[in-house]
Structure 1
């Protein structure tokens, strides 16, 4: 073995590193080769087997899911030092703990190089950008941005060893998720978004605490993240019994499950809920997890005036996406006024539904003008 390159973090950095390598084999190639059935003819002796020559073995983050337990537990002996293969260089992306520890036991530090994704830091320029554009990006929630920025500024402290954890309160469709997306865009990379409303089944335990190495898990999503912005959407939808998995994450910036140990110390972790007050949130989430949030921020219901602004922006955005012919077919002063009137009558408490309905209305008018529907 000449060298073992271990990459921790975003998949795209691993892909960049392996670009241009020659004589590459993937883990599935090796496993298939080792597991192949040899056909023997009675009365003959098979010729000696020549080991498969592998210049570069490439193992992606998702490849470990295809491995049997025997290969995981003895990765070095069963794969890297198997007599049927000769492997010179190994390139690993986010190996599970069992594989990483096995490699460290069997190889010296002189051939192991570890690489870590360099996540964009929070800069003064980031904070200025967030502040300057927030009211344009998220309409109707101007009161929250100063609270968010004062909490996020703590990440500028080089001695801080824990993430900034924000709990967003308020109804659905009033800008909580949009705020998280906006912060991520300003910092420069795509955030990790976990829908906790999807974690209502028996698999939720395995997803959060980790189980089989081949299963999806929160730790795997965190370790391969592109940025330090993490959105745990609808945090109130998961069973409170699972919140103890986040104590160490919020306190020390370390998320640990059965397969991974992930450093999230410089992350902005945003948890959204539909609770209306801090008291309601603490009662339902429980004091142990509630007390670990850096800041609790309430999003207010959006006013009629702000909804009208959102409606106009949505309409203009949808019209820009139409080609010139379709634009000519949309009746002027029909679609937008209808939605403005509906808003004034108290419709669309959840503004998230507005854009979908408006797009559908535009398509209906176009189809009617083309005499495809009556």
Structure 2
């Protein structure tokens, strides 16, 4: 068996396809759907298969559970069809050959650089057994998702899996059939699938098999994806979907062009300031200065004069630094998780690698860094960098570029644009240590540097009472037991001797819940 494996550069994928325009480019997942078992390979349409170049990139990412089956499957496919050929992304070639070193006698890497002429023609063969054509894909804007959900039955791709714990994703045809028929589903959002791939590349093959099964069972199904993730999807499944830019608008109609744009920052600044003023306890001078600087940033960003708004907060633990970032993210992006990076979790030698990934060739380089992965999983544009005093010189240089240019380049050479982001740096360092530790070029790039101090007695009393009332209300809503604030007011007032708001909140919980159980004992 002398089979060639073509290795292509993803950045030159279109050129690679052009060289073989007469061939059908398909993923191995499609072949698995056509022939689920090795015995089924004999029933495949020979004219179709021998005209295929089958991409096996996903097999390099498979977690190893099915290594023996996959190896036997590929050997059987090669024995059955003499003209079938295979391709793989250059990034995963090494991982594939590490698992399956004996299948291919020749590794052809000439397509890493394309400089020849188009040698193909139009000769695509169809097959009736299953829909083998690229799957149509509609884009939507995140700001319009709520309107789409009000009018149309849209489900997430995750609904088709029987189990979605951190180890396995299980699915079967019966589950797919039930959801498609009983719920009358016509639109499936696959955005979360791409988020999953960022952390679990071994699941790419399983998900693609499901996509083909869904399409085969219901031909009129429409797959949707948030426009921000469309290019990311192409990296994982380059041969599965049609390369189009059709949008799904707020009326549920397919349109070419687009939808209304998201609200600009300057239009929502007043609402942000109003909510922040109410939710962040104390720190009145800071809130006043932040309001002005946020307005300034919104205007400069609109005029393309400033890309990132950075705030550096110092002060003792538990007085509101981290809480500020959480509140800001919840106000601006209520359905998204705050992007939080804690340098205290990193070793001193690998901080930058942990942040943006290791260089190509290093173990784990394909996984990316924590910042990149969390940005893929959340649409929040608020980033919290905690325990910044643990940063190293390499990290300082990284933030020079990011705060100055509003973008950074990861270890794979991919550029990430953070235009419109707000980055909150927090640290417990003193003023003296800040001046000594943080380089002057980085200090000059912070839009705000502020030291949080402990709340006044009046502010702490207000925080204590509001926390207690909120907890009492929640207890009543869930248990119908009414805790009397007057009975515990003296105990609550004694908490002003503490400065750490997290500690105060826990002690408020202790006092309220103790009184709750006293009320139960009375009944």
Normalised by the length of structure 1, the TM-score is: 0.68
Quick check: 1:192 aligned with 2:339? yes
Taking a change above 3 Å as real, the CA distance of residues 327 and 357 of structure 1, as seen in their structure-2 partners, is farther
Query: Is the contact between residue 135 and residue 141 of structure 1 (CA under 8 Å) also seen in structure 2?
Result: no
Q: 1:292 to 1:39 in 2, by over 3 A?
A: closer
Q: CA deviation at 1:294?
A: 1.6
Which consecutive unaligned segments of at least 5 residues does structure 1 have? 1-22, 72-88
**2:304 aligned with 1:148:** no
Equivalent-residue separation in structure 2 for 1:325 and 1:266 (angstroms): 40
Aligned-partner Cα distance in 1 for 2:74–2:499: 73
Q: Residues 183-217 of structure 1, C-alpha deviation per residue, up to 9 Å, x if partnerless?
A: 33443443422233323476534221312122542
Describe the superposition over 1:75-108 as per-residue Cα deviations: whole angstroms up to 9, x where unpaired. Answer: xxxxxxxxxxxxxx998755399x59x97xx9xx
The 5 Å alignment of 1:224-243 reads 224-243=377-396
Cα 1:184/1:93, change in 2 over 3 Å: same
Query: Does 2:357 correspond to 1:204?
Result: no
In the alignment, which of 246, 249, 264 is matched to residue 121 of structure 1? 264
Question: 1:180 aligned to 315, 320, 325, which one?
Answer: 325
Q: 2:427 aligns with which of 270, 273, 281?
A: 273
Where do residues 72-87 of structure 1 align in structure 2 (5 Å cutoff)?
none
**Cα deviation, residue 66, structure 1:** 5.0
**Which residue in 2 is equivalent to 1:351?**
501
Residue deviations 1:330-354, cap 9 Å, x none? Answer: 46534332121231xx2x2111121
May I ask how many residue pairs the two structures share in their alignment? Answer: 317
1:17-58 deviation per Cα after TM superposition (whole angstroms, max 9, x unaligned):
xxxxxx9x999996369972336999xx74788998364397
Q: Deviations over 1:242-263 (max 9, x none)?
A: 2222111111000221244211
Give the structure with higher Rg (CA).
2
Whether 1:95 and 2:229 are equivalent positions in the alignment is no
Counterpart among 248, 255, 278 of residue 401 in structure 2? 248
Judge conservation of contact 2:389–2:427 (CA < 8 Å) in 1: yes
SS of 1:322's equivalent? helix
1: CA distance, partners of 2:200 / 2:376? 19
In 2, the alpha carbon distance for the partners of 1:193 and 1:64 equals: 17
Q: Whose RCO is larger (CA < 8 A, sep 6+)?
A: 1
**Are the aligned partners of 1:339 and 1:358 in contact in 2 as well (CA < 8 Å)?**
yes
**Are 1:163 and 2:308 matched, yes or no?**
yes
Contact 1:61 1:95 (C-alpha < 8 Å) held by counterparts? no
The SS at the match of 2:449 is strand
1:170 is displaced (CA, Å) by 1.8
TM-score (norm 2): 0.51
The RMSD of aligned alpha carbons is: 4.5
Partner of 1:82: none
Q: Write the mapping of 1:304-319 to structure 2, written as runs, cut at 5 A.
A: 304-319=457-472
Structure 2 vs 1, CA of residues 291 and 63 (structure 1 numbering), >3 Å: closer, same or farther?
Answer: same
**Cα gap change, 1:315 to 1:55, in 2 (>3 Å):** same
The answer as to whether partners of 2:355 and 2:370 remain within 8 angstroms in 1 is yes
> What is the aligned partner in structure 1 of residue 197 from structure 2?
63
The CA deviation string for residues 137-172 of structure 1, in whole angstroms up to 9 with x for no partner, is: 112111012321232222322222431111112222
Alpha carbons 1:222, 1:262 under 8 Å: kept: no
Residue of 392, 405, 417 corresponding to 1:263: 417
